[in-house]
Structure 1
Amino acid sequence: MNEFLSRAGAWADGVLEMIALGGPVVALLIAMSILALTIVLLKLWQFSAMRVGDRRTAMSALKVYRAGSAGDAASIAGKSRNPVAQVLARAIRGKHRVDMADELVREEVLRYGADQLETLRSHFRPLEVIASLAPLLGLFGTVLGMIEAFRDLEAAGSQVNPAILSGGIWQALLTTAAGLAVAMPVIVALNWLERVVDRLAHDMDNIVTQVFTMDLSRAPAVHGHELDPERVEVRPLGE
């Protein structure tokens, strides 16, 4: 416990020293990094709560539905929090309602799926802003630091001390390093989160389509015969 407290104190001292050297720009970058980390943790919790990684339930329910047991398939899919499974359950229940056409059911199912995807994409925009703004803020702090360093060099007059310039330069470059250190992990996290949502959107569209169409790989041959490619007539467009 004492070792943990000592490390935490050393980390806090390091952060305070960086703020003192980098000024308000570094303080702002640290605040942005804390905000980005909070958003990423919240999104991970949300993805976990919605069972985003559970792809087996929807596929298992679809197999049951393809086997002809719509009720069991809807029950299996409805028990999962996964958005794809929820969309599948709604599609199966809606398709077997006699008072709704398939087109209306599919439109409503896709609307529900789009709402789920929009919920998963929430707070992506702040991460995009942080990822693009952090390097620019770091560069801005570097420019300000370089201006201050050359002002000190000018004030020194003929008694130029190289330490004045070199010290000012490394302090100025500190903000650029801080900006890049904030931006790079945020970019990686944002791309991963977007990839997860994009894959989920593809799975939704794929599985809903399979509910309202037939599996052509299992379709019977025409009149009990296989199609002969040599007898297939290809006509130009417009005829």
Structure 2
Amino acid sequence: MNAFIDQLAGIGDALSNIVFLGGPVVLLLIVMSIVAAAIVIAKAVQFRRVRINDRRTARSALSIYRTGNAGAAMTMARRSPNPASRVLARAIQLRARHDIPEPVMREEILQYGGDMLESLRSHLRPLEVIASLAPLLGLFGTVLGMIEAFRDLEAAGSQVNPALLSGGIWQALLTTAIGLAVAMPTIVALNWLERAIDRAAHEMDSVVTRVFTADLSRQPGQTLSDEDDEHGHSTPFI
């Protein structure tokens, strides 16, 4: 236990030293890294809660629906928090009604799916800002540090000490390194999150399209169920 406390104290001293050498720019970059990490963790928890990678449930429910058993398909789809399953259940529910015009039906599904996607995309914009701004802040800190180093060199006059210049330069370059260290994992996490959302949107679009074209999959001579007596079109969510 004491060894762990000593390790934490050592890490704290190292961070304090880095902040002291890099100045307020490094402190700002550290705050940005904490914010980015918090957002990524929160989004990962949200994606896990809605089972964003679960495509099997929606596709299984869709297969049941296309056999004509809309009730069982809706029950299966509603059991999953996955966006594609939820929008599939909504589409099946509206498809079974005859008092709603098809354009209104599609708009309702589009709005329903769009609200879920907006929830998934929430707080991604700050990640984009951090990923773009961190390298620029690091470069800004380096420029300020280089200016300070050359001012010290000028003040030294004829008593130039190479160690003075080299020490100022490495301290200045420290902010660029920290800025890149903050930006790179943030960009990776942002692209992963956006890719997961794009795949969810594509899956939602796919299942809704198949609900509205369920009658096209039937063989000639098959009778249509009540929920399949209208033709529909694709409802894009991307």
How much does 1:13 deviate? 1.1
How much does 1:69 deviate? 0.3
Structure 2's unaligned 5+ residue stretches are 222-238
Q: Give per-residue Cα distances to partners, 1:155-181, cap 9 Å, x unaligned.
A: 111111000000000000000000000
C-alpha distance 46-108 of structure 1, shift in aligned 2 (>3 A): same
Q: Give per-residue Cα distances to partners, 1:68-122, cap 9 Å, x unaligned.
A: 1000000000111111100000100110012112332222011100110011000
The residue number in structure 2 matching 1:110 is 110
SS in 1 for 2:214: coil
Asked whether the 8 Å contact 1:52–1:200 carries over to 2, the reply is yes
Asked whether the 8 Å contact 1:106–1:208 carries over to 2, the reply is no
Asked whether the 8 Å contact 1:19–1:27 carries over to 2, the reply is yes
Sequence identity percentage: 66
The residue number in structure 2 matching 1:151 is 151
1:71 aligns with 2:71: yes
How much does 1:6 deviate? 2.1
In structure 2, distance between residues paired with 1:213 and 1:114: 21
In structure 2, distance between residues paired with 1:72 and 1:218: 19
The residue number in structure 2 matching 1:82 is 82
In structure 2, distance between residues paired with 1:99 and 1:5: 68
Q: Give per-residue Cα distances to partners, 1:187-233, cap 9 Å, x unaligned.
A: 00000000000011111111100000137566549xxxxxxxxxxxx
The residue number in structure 1 matching 2:49 is 49
C-alpha distance 49-61 of structure 1, shift in aligned 2 (>3 A): same
Map 1:99-178 → 2, pairs under 5 A: 99-178=99-178
Structure 1's unaligned 5+ residue stretches are 222-239
**Aligned-residue CA RMSD in angstroms?**
1.4
Higher relative contact order (CA 8 A, sep 6+): 2
1:197 aligns with 2:181: no
The residue number in structure 1 matching 2:227 is none
How much does 1:51 deviate? 1.4
1:180 aligns with 2:190: no
In structure 2, distance between residues paired with 1:73 and 1:2: 58
In structure 2, distance between residues paired with 1:144 and 1:217: 67
In structure 1, distance between residues paired with 2:214 and 2:68: 12
How many equivalent residue pairs?
221
Q: Which amino acid aligns with 1:93?
A: Q
Asked whether the 8 Å contact 1:102–1:212 carries over to 2, the reply is no
The residue number in structure 1 matching 2:234 is none
The residue number in structure 1 matching 2:230 is none
**TM-score with structure 1 length normalisation?**
0.89
